[in-house]
Amino acid sequence: MVEQLFKELSLLEEVEAIALGGSRAGENYDEKSDYDVYLYVNSSISEEKRKNILKNFCSYMEIGNSFWEYEDNCVLNNGIEIDILYRDMKDFMKGIERVVVECQPSNSYTTCMWHNLITCKILYDKTRKLEKYKNKYSINYPKQLKENIIKRQLELIDSSMPAYPNQIKKAISRKDFVSINHRTTEFLASYFDLLFAINEVTHPGEKRLVQLCKKQCKILPENFEENLNSLFSHMYSEENQSLLMSDIENIVNNIKKISH
């Protein structure tokens, strides 16, 4: 059924390529796994066109969500969820170039879209343009990018005035649980961005990061999982919240040891 959906989408003149991401692009999925589908387009596809195709395959549709990327979030007739994301190929590849060629770091998830490109499974490629980009950027991790990410993330988690631990400490003093949660989340996002860069591994996204680091990263901080578990146990315990800063200090000190 889903193959027929992909075929009909490929017939749209606006569509240059279709790719599959997430677990479905690899081997670790089952028949109930969701679909993450990327449509690379040369111009926007009207909602009417998309609805007319999707209604034949989906029992539920949310058309034109734009909370992250512009996408249609649906449930197929067999009950499996499918997210269809629409990307302007030129704009998307400019973003990849900023990371891989210009070596510009972000506050988090720096190499996530690069990872998405080089690990995707191409389903349709009108002029083989997506394949060419995938091959172009399937390269070794740039040394300058690694250095730039390490520098930026160490500043964010340790050395700068607005570093996350300083903000978390203030939030604890105010007993501001929302702020503690928000700043700790940002701290961890920078931490994992740093850890993947140290290992010259592209960032796989936001899910199962501890397990993926243990599987893919040859270099891990001392007491990697234990320190994270300790941090999580203290985050929402007012009685033990004073220990949260000790947890963060241990995490920072241990990753600094492997950052050089």
- Banded model confidence at residue 239, pLDDT cuts 50, 70, 90: confident
Quick one: the chain helix, strand, coil %, rounded to 5? 55, 15, 30
What local confidence, expressed as pLDDT, does residue 116 receive? 95
What local confidence, expressed as pLDDT, does residue 26 receive? 61
Q: What is the tens place of the pLDDT at every residue in 122-173?
A: 999 999 999 999 999 999 999 999 999 999 999 999 999 999 999 999 999 8
Residue type, 1: M
Helical segments of 101-205, H only: 112-119, 129-136, 143-154, 164-173, 177-198
Q: What is the distance, to the nearest Å, from the Cα of residue 27 to the centroid of all Cα atoms in its chain? A: 19
Q: What are phi and psi of 59, to 5 degrees?
A: -90, -15
What local confidence, expressed as pLDDT, does residue 24 receive? 67
What local confidence, expressed as pLDDT, does residue 1 receive? 78
Q: What is the tens place of the pLDDT at every residue in 43-81?
A: 999 999 999 999 999 999 999 999 999 999 999 999 999
**Long-range CB contact pairs, 180-183, < 8 A, 24+:** 180/235, 180/241, 180/244, 181/235, 181/236
Q: What is the tens place of the pLDDT at every residue in 145-157?
A: 999 999 999 999 9
What local confidence, expressed as pLDDT, does residue 171 receive? 92
Residue 237 or 100, more confident? 100
